[in-house]
């Protein structure tokens, strides 16, 4: 049951959530264009799939309380950076950094980077987290809205999605006897990324060699 002040907070939140929805819309449009453009121009689509979400009022209230902050509009606006969240899942690790570079080069300032690929979390979690400022073009002004973007490979996404299913946030940290196995699974996912990268490179190499190499050998 929500209290009167909570109901008032949720009512006020409308405009703020709409601005974050616009930021997500702008970002999704850019990402979809790059995906199609690279597929067309380079025969390689760097994006496997995209997911996005706007944080629900209930989760916003919970997070403010967890951080010991007042449950007010100003406090949500000034302190929460993940109201708008976009997750980009890529075939290869190199695609993750390609998308990061495209974001940087296309009018969106990166204000924070957490590279859990270079330095995985102790449980094995890997992903590249960026906080970016997305310009939202309203009818009479441009507003910069902060969004959190998580970039990861399919293998990293598989691990993170299943890990969340097994150890949901409410359950706290996994018991120590599970951590070794969890980390080993993350290492296996990283190994898979390395192997797929190898295959991708082999295929590119074969393409270069095949035309006058193999064909030139002729029939015996």
Nearer Cβ to ligand 0O2, position 98 or 186?
186
Active site residue 148: yes
| Residues forming a β-bridge with 204 | none
Q: Identify the helix (H) or strand (E) that includes residue 53.
A: strand 49-54
State the minimum distance, in angstroms, from the CB of residue 121 to ligand 0O2.
5
Nearer Cβ to ligand 0O2, position 85 or 192?
85
Q: Is 131 helix (H, G, I), strand (E, B) or coil?
A: strand
In the complex, the residues that contact ligand 0O2 under the rule CB under 6 A are 82, 85, 114, 121, 123, 125, 129, 160, 163-164, 169
CA distance 3 to 180: 44
Q: Which of 122, 121, 106 is nearest to 152 (CA)?
A: 121
State the minimum distance, in angstroms, from the CB of residue 82 to ligand 0O2.
5
CA distance 56 to 10: 10
Where do the DSSP E strands lie in 83-192? 84-90, 109-115, 128-137, 142-153
Among 8, 26, 58, 148, which one carries the catalytic annotation?
Answer: 148
CA distance 10 to 202: 54
State the minimum distance, in angstroms, from the CB of residue 100 to ligand 0O2.
15
Q: Is 10 helix (H, G, I), strand (E, B) or coil?
A: helix
Query: Catalytic site residues?
Result: 148
């Amino acid at each position: 049951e929500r209290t009167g002040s909570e109901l008032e907070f949720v009512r006020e939140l409308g405009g703020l959530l709409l601005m974050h929805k616009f930021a997500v819309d702008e970002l999704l449009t850019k990402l979809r264009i790059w995906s199609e453009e690279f597929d067309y121009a380079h025969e390689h689509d760097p994006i496997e799939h995209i997911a996005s979400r706007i944080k629900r009022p209930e989760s916003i209230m919970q997070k403010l309380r967890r951080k010991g902050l007042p449950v007010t509009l100003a406090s949500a606006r000034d302190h929460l950076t993940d109201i708008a969240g976009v997750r980009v899942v890529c075939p290869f690790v190199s695609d993750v950094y390609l998308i990061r570079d495209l974001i940087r080069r296309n009018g969106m300032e990166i204000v924070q980077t957490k590279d859990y690929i270079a330095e995985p979390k102790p449980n094995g979690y890997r992903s590249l987290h960026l906080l970016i400022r997305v310009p939202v073009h309203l009818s009479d002004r441009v507003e910069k809205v902060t969004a959190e973007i998580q970039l990861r490979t399919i293998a990293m996404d598989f691990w993170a999605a299943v890990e969340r299913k097994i150890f949901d946030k409410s359950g706290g940290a996994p018991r120590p006897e599970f951590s070794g196995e969890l980390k080993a699974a993350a290492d296996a996912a990283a190994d898979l990324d390395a192997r797929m990268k190898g295959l991708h490179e082999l295929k590119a190499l074969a393409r270069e060699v095949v035309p006058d190499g193999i064909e030139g050998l002729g029939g015996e």
